[in-house]
Amino acid sequence: QVQLVESGGGLVQPGGSLRLSCAASGIRFRIYAMGWYRQVPGKQRELVASISSLSNTNYADSVQGRFTISRDNAKNTMYLQMSSLKPEDTAVYYCNAHTTLSTFWGQGTQVTVSS
């Protein structure tokens, strides 16, 4: 059974930092490309950052320079270090794992940036 479990969300003030984690089980983690997406009510889910199986990274323009995605294949875990958070970063953040044959999603974790 495949599970992607996000953690680390919460309430933070503007300018603050959070680190999200995505723990994977039931997949050969090291062969999967991984990504963080986010969604706010009434809008489409958008890609925040991705990391390939070879650890090549890609970021949305809106988070470039503020967020860092990483993975630890020994721990089957992906991370998103978020700094200089803005109110517009408020969303549910989802973990995604995919290959050309399969895609899996986590249940999401809420991030709220507010004073």
Six-digit token pair at 15? 């300018």
Count CA atoms within 13 Å of residue 68 on its CB side.
8
Count CA atoms within 13 Å of residue 70 on its CB side.
9
Q: Sign of the CA dihedral 27, 39, 88, 56? A: positive
pLDDT of residue 62: 97
Count CA atoms within 13 Å of residue 58 on its CB side.
10
In the chain (115 residues long), the average pLDDT of successive 10-residue segments reads: 96 98 97 98 97 97 98 98 98 97 97 97
Residue 13 to residue 17: CA distance in whole angstroms? 8
